[in-house]
A and B are shown apart, each in its own frame.
Chain A
């Protein structure tokens, strides 16, 4: 027996959902959603659960991750209940739910907190530079070290435990029995999705969206690899230098296109951008663009006299690594892939 909880609506509205109460269960959203299959009543079921506030059902559901926000449902909803936006908000809510630190929730719900966190990290970077008497080499060396450690710590301390929590909510708590072998077999699904976002191909509108998305993911991962492992800023290898340039150019150009899209609000999914959506693309853009400039400055031997640029890049990087990656929208990339994985292994073979 599930308890009806009207407070849930208030809570989920803080994550950006609106008007979904107006739903009168016509099912148009399910009919138009190109990702809904015959028996899933998707996304109407989640709209209904949210209206009723059936928290434990939602918490155990991976459905929100299966939506790629083409916005078709919101366009056809006769009650303007914005089911697509609700799905987006449920993803934010789930992210907060999985996150053991609780910081995700704070960042999604309270803009001032997010601003404060970003300013604090910026201040920390400047204070650190001050403590090192603004020495370029030391700072750049630290920067490189930081990247490596940040990745390790964020993963072990935050992302892996959070994934474990997701596993608990989705599989263990609802007492779904999954054989060990199934876990192993499903791995393939996990990686395909992580890198290709294969599911978006099912969306009617998004052949190009899927491609851009794929390039951004690959561009981001390889730039990360180039800077962290191949030490782009320190290397003398022409190949690596050019590779880094190419990757960063691709990344900031594409993210720029994304940002422009959000500003123009030309698509349904862009109508209600939240601060977290903005942060994600803008920071990705800033990161790629500032990295690109830093490397140019290095090549032109300007960097010694223009330490501010590196500090700017470092600030963006730190904010990205300690705020956006563990607590922001970056995690969606991870949870989405795992959701597909769990979905796969949940099905009885």
Chain B
């Protein structure tokens, strides 16, 4: 029990005191149990008052304080800091909100507002009397990070984390690193080949011996928490004998005659069943398509020294202090028949076109016919006002236009049509749009309500579209190739990943951060961060920016070897707990585990995982689990305090009078406004004049007069020509 409590009640410069009788309440509470001092102050948050509070705490040896003022959202930390500076544990501080909860909403009933405020403050005093001094929880963390996904975001983050001295486990589901960007020969706006970027990053990764890369690997199981995640990973075999020499593998590859669709090229080409995505793909280790080769007994026997189809998945356990998820996106896959996709052979998606461009060095040939006229249809699978994907993918406009520029550069005599809804080439990408339209690409604007229709002619595709830039004129376009500019969607496996790490996903199925502006790479799971396009559509630069910012967040977190966490979490009374398991059942974060304690089983809370949400406390039949700072004692005493009779001598304040100055109802205004109006008394005055007369700082008068002007209480009338100040007067 705290017995030397200090209470501070704030006027908020009239915001509170104009309605709530803070002085009387202050006097009344002086005699409450445990209260040593109780005062009303003009601005509790002002530096001068903070200093007074500190000296009060020291002088009167206060062991707890209550400030009744505005919302804790505004000043909780201000006063916690005051406590700390005075040598008091910040958990012995309680803030009571009598502005947003009393003076503002009940300005029409000042007396009731005062009574309510008094009750709330008393509840606060009772609660603080039961407050405990709690220290932050310190947790040892392992300086190791698991980065899930070795696309450009993951690779960049891994490199930075490793450079800063962390152990990094980088895992990638594919057998080769790099992700989507390896499939594009020319990336906007630098024109670089994605493969080159990946090769460079890979070389850098290899130069750090604290990065361990696992390819063909996925997350199997996650347990543990911030500081000590235990992660099982599953590594698929490559079916190549680890000890086989390179020449033998090369021979087997040359010898292989079984061909399968080349997924890397979207099936436009075939590849051998012993393959790499592309010749320079990294890591430089071939993979065997076991499914395709399993019946080739003779071949397998011939190359038995290097091929081994009996290999099995391997499970490996890792421990990491933190996790960075950079799993990226999937390209939207058009439905069959959407703009003729899959119904007509010459309809492809933008990523497919990019493969075609790379596969055709001199002339663009598709389905054995030269391609001259190309029509791009934008926003496919995106910005569906009625459909599932309502968002815009940000990068597809730029990407499509970049491909169009590349087509013009690489091949002769290409005509490009762009059927768009809006062109969103923000920032420097605008230059590409300008270049493209100047080079003669034709832009036609359609509306979602009247999308273009793709039909097959004898020789070509025929698109009908209403051009909104020519007052909906119906146009017909002949095209050899229709390119669907598809946007980004969340990965197909995003749900599984989210379940494993407990990362929340949005309705758009992308992973959710805590706050898009203030905590953009943090998730609600402590120690788990997200970066890149697994969080939502981003272009490469934006992806890298976000993953690097996550990397620096993680480094800051792990740097000291320990992290300090808020002590407001659940705790179990071992004697009372009978291990019924109810709390563990409701805990969404799986913070509660069953443990053995002496001769019985009880619940134990993992301090690193528990968020203090409190859902477990009420379900416990033996009342064995409670939340620090929200103990039964504290809550019940608050209720008692609030129920106590308020014996408040509320004086009949002027604020209730109907006195009027020059026709304005005075009771609605704060005191300073009334003073200003009285000073004006029907005359016009400038701000410096008012400030002088009232002896109040000019800045404060300026702020208030401007506000009064905004609410039409005063109006301007002419100007003091010499001093260049407006005259203000009361509005009639």
Contacts and interface: CB of A to CB of B under 8 A. Distances in A.
Interface string A7-30: 001000000000101111100000
Interface stretch (B155-163, B470-478, B529-537): B470-478
A6 B473 contact: no
B417 A4 contact: yes
B478 A22 contact: no
B635 to A, nearest CB: 63
B329 to A, nearest CB: 30
B442 A1 contact: no
Interface stretch (B27-35, B432-440, B563-571): B432-440
Contacts of B434: 22, 79
Contact of A6 (B415, B464, B469): B415
A134 interface: no
B172 interface: no
Interface string B170-199: 000000000000000000000000000000
Contacts of B415: 6
Nearest to B437: A22
Contact of B473 (A2, A22, A51): A2
Contacts of A54: 473
B18 interface: no
Contacts of A23: 437
Given A2-B475, A4-B477, A52 B470 contact: yes
Contacts of A175: none
Contacts of B464: 1
B440 A6 contact: yes
Given A24-B437, A48-B469, A3 B478 contact: yes
B167 interface: no
Contacts of B522: none
Contacts of B442: 4, 6, 21, 51-52
B40 interface: no
B444 interface: yes
Interface string A285-301: 00000000000000000
A140 B441 CA distance: 57
B441 A3 contact: no
B474 A21 contact: no
Contacts of A41: 471
Query: Of residues B434, B445, B473, which shows the largest number of chain A Cβ atoms within 10 Å of its Cβ?
Result: B473
Given A25-B469, A52-B444, A1 B476 contact: yes
A1 B478 contact: no
A21 B470 contact: no
Contacts of A100: none
Interface string B446-472: 000000000000000000100101110
Given A1-B464, A52-B475, A19 B470 contact: no
A48 B469 CA distance: 8
Nearest to B470: A48
A4 B440 contact: no
A39 to B, nearest CB: 10
Contacts of B439: 21
Interface size class of B (residues with CB under 8 A): 20 to 34
A19 B434 CA distance: 11
Nearest to A4: B477
A195 B464 CA distance: 46
Contacts of A4: 417, 442, 444, 475-478
Contact of A3 (B445, B470, B471, B475): B475
Contacts of B474: 1-2
A49 interface: yes
A346 interface: no
Contacts of B438: 19, 21-22
Contacts of A48: 469-470
A262 interface: no
What DSSP secondary structure best describes chain B's contact surface? strand
A332 interface: no
A61 to B, nearest CB: 13
Contacts of B417: 4, 6
A45 B470 CA distance: 7
A52 B475 CA distance: 9
Nearest to A21: B440
Contacts of A9: 440
Nearest to B433: A24
Given A3-B476, A4-B476, A49 B470 contact: yes
A49 B475 CA distance: 11
Interface string B277-295: 0000000000000000000
Interface in A37-91: 41, 45, 48-49, 51-52, 54, 79
Contacts of B478: 3-4
A25 B420 CA distance: 14
Query: Of residues A6, A25, A49, which shows the largest number of chain B Cβ atoms within 10 Å of its Cβ?
Result: A6
Query: Of residues A4, A22, A23, A24, which shows the largest number of chain B Cβ atoms within 10 Å of its Cβ?
Result: A4
A21 B434 CA distance: 10
Given A4-B417, A48-B469, A21 B437 contact: yes
A93 B477 CA distance: 24
B468 to A, nearest CB: 9
Query: Of residues B434, B464, B469, which shows the largest number of chain A Cβ atoms within 10 Å of its Cβ?
Result: B469
A6 B438 CA distance: 13
Nearest to B474: A1
A6 B475 CA distance: 13
A21 to B, nearest CB: 5
Contacts of A1: 464, 474-476
Given A4-B417, A4-B444, A6-B415, A52 B467 contact: yes
Query: Of residues A52, A54, A79, which shows the largest number of chain B Cβ atoms within 10 Å of its Cβ?
Result: A52
Contacts of A51: 442-443
A54 B476 CA distance: 10
A299 B560 CA distance: 110
A19 B524 CA distance: 53
Contacts of B467: 52
Nearest to B415: A6
A25 B464 CA distance: 21
A51 B476 CA distance: 14
A14 to B, nearest CB: 14
A9 B438 CA distance: 11
Nearest to A10: B440
Nearest to A53: B442
A24 B434 CA distance: 9
Query: Of residues B445, B464, B476, which shows the largest number of chain A Cβ atoms within 10 Å of its Cβ?
Result: B476
Query: Of residues A3, A9, A19, A51, which shows the largest number of chain B Cβ atoms within 10 Å of its Cβ?
Result: A51
B521 to A, nearest CB: 36
Nearest to B469: A25
Contacts of A52: 442, 444, 467, 470, 475
A134 to B, nearest CB: 55
Interface in B408-445: 415, 417, 434, 437-445
Contacts of B373: 6
A49 B464 CA distance: 17
A6 B470 CA distance: 16
Contacts of A79: 434, 437
Contact of B476 (A2, A22, A24, A45): A2
Nearest to A80: B438
Contacts of B441: 21
Q: 6 nearest interchain CB pairs?
A: A6-B415, A22-B438, A25-B469, A21-B440, A4-B477, A3-B476
Interface of A: 1-4, 6, 9, 19, 21-25, 41, 45, 48-49, 51-52, 54, 79
Given A4-B477, A6-B373, A22-B437, 16 more contacts: A1-B475, A2-B475, A3-B477, A3-B478, A4-B444, A4-B476, A6-B440, A19-B438, A21-B442, A24-B443, A25-B469, A45-B470, A51-B442, A51-B443, A54-B473, A79-B437
20 contacts: A1-B474, A2-B475, A3-B476, A3-B477, A4-B444, A4-B475, A4-B476, A4-B478, A6-B373, A6-B442, A19-B438, A21-B438, A21-B442, A22-B438, A24-B443, A25-B469, A48-B469, A48-B470, A51-B442, A52-B467
